[in-house]
Structure 1
Amino acid sequence: MEFLAPTWERIHVESLQLSSKILQSGYYPDVVIGVLRGGYIIARLVTDVIQVEDLGVVEVKFYKGIGERAERPIITQPLTTDVRGKKVLIIDDVVDSGRTLQVVSEQVRLRGAKDVKSAALYYKPKSIIKPDYFIVETEAWVFFPWEIGEFIREMGLEPSSKKVSAFLQEKGISFSSEIIEWVTNTLKIRDSLNK
């Protein structure tokens, strides 16, 4: 499995590139909707540069129950801003299957948006939807710096700083030993609370 692990700085640069691409296309949204959780980070960076004050969020999850993943994502936090009659830009960090973007786009249209476009830093060609704007097309698993705990759980790793460090190094992913130590210790505390 191939991994792509952009640093915070790379993400900031790519968010600036995305902002430029959006404005150069002549599109200026009235509202930006960040898809929680990672899409909000990108949306915040983009709105700062393109100077859109109306930034809302929506949360979408793929689950039925414990350990079960739904075919179609469900909205778990509705849109937080009014989109009626407005030009809306939906931003996510990565468009993987495209199902999240599809559900959010449908919801925004149902709420009466005048125009809907989408953007993401990363786009996977297997997606059922291609965002209007993106920076990198990749088939790799994109591993963001804000999801290290999730990554450790998804990979089935024991929260041991040595094991996590070794695994990340093997995959070419770089984090400081201090960050890995804090995350693994916090995961251990969380695990002990669940017992």
Structure 2
Amino acid sequence: MTDRLPHEKGFHVSWDQMHRDSRALAWRLDGKGPDDGAWKAVVGITRGGLVPAMIVARELDIRVVDTISVKSYNHQSQTAAKVLKAPQADMMGDGTGVLVVDDLVDSGKTLELVRQLYPKAHFATVYAKPSGKPQVDTYITEVSQDTWIFFPWDMALQYVQPFRGTD
């Protein structure tokens, strides 16, 4: 048996899959905003939320896009979440009409922090783990808590040994 990565289960997401799942998220959010179904802005949680936020903004024709930078990981170790850069305050208010997008809700600590700042925002993620689901309003795919998601921006193509045999 081969040595495994530090996480028992790995879920590899390709660029194509991320694009499809982000479009599915946009479809689910279409017409659900408070302004006759429209959203006034999209805020991507950096860094992972930038790609799905851009795709959602494009699909829903939302022209106001900003970011909130929250650091909650040091490589693969989770740390206390803290805001490094906030979005434009006059646009955000209490979050009404704002769509906050991230790639994944894991423990929920990042979204919990952002939700405290913008309690009326709508929180959407592409992927959700059970511990974080209470912090997200809309998501596409649930994965188990012990799954590590390998996003395409973290990966490079390379040869992989087969599980059995050498050819």
Determine if the TM-score, normalized by the shorter chain, exceeds 0.5.
Answer: yes
1:42 aligns with 2:84: no
Residues 161-195 of structure 1, C-alpha deviations (whole Å, 9 max, x = no match)? 9xx6437x66xxxxxxxxxxxxxxxxxxxxxxxxx
1:5 aligns with 2:12: yes
Structure with bigger gyration radius:
1
CA distance in 1, matches of 2:122, 2:130: 18
From 145, 151, 155, the equivalent of 1:144 is 151
Q: Which has the higher helix share?
A: 1
- The Cα shift of 1:148 comes to 2.5
Residues 142-177 of structure 1, C-alpha deviations (whole Å, 9 max, x = no match)? 11010128xxxxxxxxxxx9xx6437x66xxxxxxx
Higher relative contact order (CA 8 A, sep 6+): 2
Partner of 1:51: 61
Check whether the contact 2:112–2:135 (CA below 8 A) recurs between aligned residues.
Answer: no
From 29, 39, 44, the equivalent of 2:39 is 29
Partner of 2:85: 77
- % identical aligned pairs: 26
- The Cα shift of 1:25 comes to 4.0
Q: Which has the higher strand share?
A: 2
Matches within 5 A, 1:57-136: 57-62=67-72, 70=79, 72-80=80-88, 82-84=91-93, 86-109=96-119, 115-127=120-132, 129-136=134-141
Check whether the contact 1:22–1:28 (CA below 8 A) recurs between aligned residues.
Answer: no
Partner of 1:157: none
- The Cα shift of 1:129 comes to 2.8
Structure 1, unaligned stretches of length 5 or more? 110-114, 150-160, 171-195
What SS is found at the alignment partner of 1:134? strand
CA distance in 1, matches of 2:25, 2:133: 21
Give 2:81's aligned amino acid: P
Check whether the contact 1:101–1:129 (CA below 8 A) recurs between aligned residues.
Answer: no
CA distance in 2, matches of 1:32, 1:105: 14
CA distance in 1, matches of 2:125, 2:42: 12
Structure 2, unaligned stretches of length 5 or more? 1-7
From 131, 154, 160, the equivalent of 1:166 is 160
Give me the CA root mean square deviation: 2.6
CA distance in 1, matches of 2:155, 2:140: 22
